[in-house]
């Protein structure tokens, strides 16, 4: 069911959905490796799709940690809302990642500790990518991390304009294989 929803939305919105198949559980586990769940108070997820990363975040976060999940696609948002709306401190939001600061503040925080992203930056216009990353940088805690994945290294130099420290890992067991960028504000 989730794969069908994902594929249908890729066909309808190829510029919003950057892959033809949902991310693997292996990629999801790699995406959360650098998250310190013991200390995280506010975690944000951009572009969760059908919720592969969301599942891992919920399984590992502390009960009192707030998880804000931003999904712009209405159909995917509805699927996520159905799955997660009854979980304490998990908030599904139908909006763009550009508005992240508003939601972090609305839920009582000045900054997010971690931002996990499934957004396809290589498919986005440069201005949209700049806007999202600028807002991410502004709302991310000084010691926080922005963790995203991409299918190529094409956006590495672009991301370095925002994050001076980027650690890259590779996950082979995914369709297609993916690079995980763990980005920090400080070197």
Residue 152 sits at the vertex; the CA angle it makes with 147 and 157, to the nearest 5 degrees, is 70
Give residue 187's pLDDT: 75
Q: How far apart are CA 37 and CA 2, in angstroms?
A: 27
- pLDDT band at residue 2 under the 50/70/90 scheme: low
Nearest alpha-carbon partner for 151 in 24, 3, 5, 12: 24
- pLDDT band at residue 5 under the 50/70/90 scheme: very low
Residue 27 sits at the vertex; the CA angle it makes with 1 and 143, to the nearest 5 degrees, is 125
Q: How far apart are CA 115 and CA 95, in angstroms?
A: 15
pLDDT in tens, 69-122: 999 999 999 999 999 999 999 999 999 999 999 999 999 999 999 999 999 998
Q: How far apart are CA 84 and CA 89, in angstroms?
A: 10
pLDDT in tens, 24-52: 999 999 999 999 999 999 999 999 998 99
pLDDT over 70 (residue 4) = no
Can you identify the CATH homologous superfamily of domain 2-184? Vaccinia Virus protein VP39 (3.40.50.150)
Going from N- to C-terminal start, the domains of the chain cover 2-184
| 142: phi then psi, degrees, rounded to nearest 5 | -55, -40
Question: Is residue 6 exposed (0-12), middle (13-18) or buried (19+ Cβ within 10 Å)?
Answer: buried
Give residue 57's pLDDT: 98
Nearest alpha-carbon partner for 168 in 156, 181, 178: 181
Percent of the chain clearing pLDDT 70 (strictly above): 89
Give this prediction's pTM: 0.89
Percent of the chain clearing pLDDT 90 (strictly above): 82
């Amino acid at each position: 069911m989730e794969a069908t929803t994902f594929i249908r939305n890729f066909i309808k919105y190829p510029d919003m959905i950057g892959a033809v198949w949902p991310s693997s559980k292996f990629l999801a586990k790699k995406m959360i490796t650098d998250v310190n769940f013991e200390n995280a108070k506010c975690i944000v997820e951009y572009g969760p799709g059908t919720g592969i990363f969301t599942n891992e975040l919920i399984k590992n976060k502390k009960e009192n940690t707030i998880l804000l999940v931003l999904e712009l696609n209405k159909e995917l948002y509805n699927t996520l809302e159905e799955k997660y709306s009854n979980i304490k401190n998990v908030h599904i939001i139908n909006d763009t990642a550009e508005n992240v600061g508003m939601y972090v503040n609305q839920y009582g925080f000045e900054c997010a500790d971690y931002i996990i992203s499934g957004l396809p930056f290589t498919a986005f216009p440069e201005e949209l990518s700049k806007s999202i990353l600028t807002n991410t940088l502004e709302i991310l805690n000084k010691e926080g991390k922005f963790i995203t994945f991409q299918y190529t290294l094409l956006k590495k130099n672009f991301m370095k304009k925002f994050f001076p420290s980027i650690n890259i890992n590779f996950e082979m067991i995914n369709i297609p294989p993916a690079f995980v960028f763990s980005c920090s504000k400080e070197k």
